[in-house]
């Protein structure tokens, strides 16, 4: 068909850089004497999916590129490999064409089929510099659109910008340091304020005049909204702190605990995994507020003394059993007429029984003294905690 023929000619002329023929075809399109598609695509295996602009850029025909751009060729169309004309120009090192494409709003952030943007496909430092500058300009252009939408209360545009795959920075600033939230606040744009807050805008950020969005609004209703989010924002800034902590016990020595401080609550866990277990199954753990810390300190001391007391009772029972066995042994020896055991051995057995009894008595005394000292130490520890909390 005629249209296909014209398009095939346009592709060929673009590849060869035949500017006069391109102008002729484009003029016929302007005169509506043909239905030429300026963004037609090649069906050739070597350039499948390429538009005339792709071909002209890759071949380095600057004038042909300019004619196509002036006629409305799309500078951001991708071929079958995901490359835009800017990828082609950057890859082949066509500096003038790269600059020309950028002037016609070619996007410098489009990725191709190998996840590369135009800057990634070239090693030319000048081209890289141009593309990086274009990236910054493009980023700033989207930020200015966001600031403008917030100022004017254009909730539709604001929502679209924030819903983009790569949305502009919600905390971008204007010349005086105002964020979009500042702009919406001083213009009284309620819907935009709510949308920005729900999208993560921080009401605590200050402009160059040390003002937050709350400082710029005059509406009592908006003040309440911003104040509520500001409190939430400040409280969310307090991070959860957790980590191992060695806790000393007078009798049991140093023992490792997992300490968690979150939302003003101090929690102790024997091991780290209990923290996650508690979060998922409401496992009963000690959430130590100041009052619970006092209980924990008393409980720890009482438990230690109780354990030592039980151990002492076991030692006392063993001593009594030993004393009984020695007595039986001595009685058996005395009743034996022809005892072959020497006297020193019998004396040693008797001394062992007596020493065992004395040791047990000494342990009883130690338990009493240590119990009293633990009570004094616990009272001092609690007084220290009370002073710290004040």
User: Distance between alpha carbon 375 and the CA centroid of its chain, in Å?
Assistant: 46
Dist CA 370 CA 176 (whole Å): 68
CA distances from 71 to 34, 107, 150, 192, 315 (A): 14, 18, 35, 39, 103
Per-residue pLDDT tens for 37-52? 999 999 988 899 999 9
- Residue 245 has a pLDDT of 74
CA distance 124 to 127: 5
Question: Which residues on neighbouring strands pair with residue 254, listed in sequence order?
Answer: 248
What pLDDT is attached to residue 272? 57
Residues of the chain with pLDDT under 70: 1-4, 33, 232-240, 247-253, 262-264, 268, 270-312, 314-319, 322-323, 325-326, 329-346, 349-350, 353, 356-357, 360-390
Distance (Å, whole) CA 332 – CA 264? 71
pTM over 0.75: no
**pLDDT given for residue 285 in this prediction:** 41
CA within 13 Å, CB half, 9: 15
Contact at 8 Å (CB) between 374 and 304?
A: yes
What is the pLDDT at residue 239?
62
Quote the pLDDT of residue 257: 72
Tokens of 63: 């004038």
Element (H, E) at 262: strand 253-262
SS3 at position 344: helix
Structure tokens at 241: 């702190």
Give the separation between CA 109 and CA 14, rounded to whole angstroms.
25
What kind and span of H or E run contains 8?
helix 2-16
- Give 333: exposed, middle or buried? Use CB within 10 Å, 0-12, 13-18, 19+: middle
Selection from 111, 18, 119 nearest residue 65 by Cα: 18
Helix ranges restricted to H, 31-152:
52-59, 62-70, 85-91, 95-103, 125-152
């Amino acid at each position: 068909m005629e249209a296909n023929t014209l398009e095939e000619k346009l592709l060929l002329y673009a590849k060869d850089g035949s500017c006069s023929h391109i102008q002729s075809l484009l003029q016929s399109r302007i005169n509506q004497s043909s239905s030429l598609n300026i963004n037609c695509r090649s069906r050739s295996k070597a350039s499948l999916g390429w538009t005339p602009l792709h071909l002209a850029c890759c071949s380095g025909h600057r004038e042909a590129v300019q004619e196509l751009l002036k006629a409305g060729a799309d500078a951001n169309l991708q071929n079958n490999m995901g490359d835009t004309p800017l990828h082609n120009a950057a890859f082949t090192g066509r500096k003038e064409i790269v600059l020309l494409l950028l002037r016609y709003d070619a996007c410098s952030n489009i990725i191709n089929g190998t996840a590369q943007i135009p800057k990634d496909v070239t090693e030319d430092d000048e081209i890289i510099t141009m593309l990086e500058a274009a990236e910054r300009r493009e980023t700033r252009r989207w930020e200015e659109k966001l600031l403008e939408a917030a100022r004017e209360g254009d909730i539709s545009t604001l929502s679209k910008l924030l819903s983009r795959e790569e949305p502009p920075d919600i905390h971008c600033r204007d010349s005086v340091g105002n964020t979009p939230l500042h702009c919406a606040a001083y213009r009284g744009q309620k819907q935009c304020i709510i949308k920005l807050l729900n999208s993560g805008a921080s009401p605590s950020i200050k402009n160059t005049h040390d003002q937050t969005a709350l400082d710029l609004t005059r509406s009592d209703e908006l003040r309440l909204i911003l104040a509520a989010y500001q409190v939430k924002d400040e409280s969310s800034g307090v991070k959860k702190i957790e980590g191992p902590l060695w806790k000393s016990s007078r009798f049991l020595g140093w023992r490792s605990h997992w300490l968690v401080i979150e939302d003003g609550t101090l929690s102790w866990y024997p091991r780290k995994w209990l923290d996650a277990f508690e979060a998922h199954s409401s496992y009963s753990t000690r959430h130590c507020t100041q009052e619970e810390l006092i209980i924990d300190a008393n409980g720890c001391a009482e438990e230690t003394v109780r354990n030592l007391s039980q151990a002492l009772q076991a030692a006392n029972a063993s001593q009594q059993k030993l004393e009984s066995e020695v007595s039986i042994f001595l009685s058996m020896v005395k009743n034996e007429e022809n005892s072959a055991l020497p006297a020193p051995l019998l004396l040693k057995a008797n001394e062992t029984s007596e020493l065992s009894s004395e040791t047990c008595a000494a342990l009883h005394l130690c338990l009493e003294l240590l119990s009293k000292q633990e009570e004094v130490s616990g009272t001092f520890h609690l007084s220290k905690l009370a002073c710290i909390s004040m």
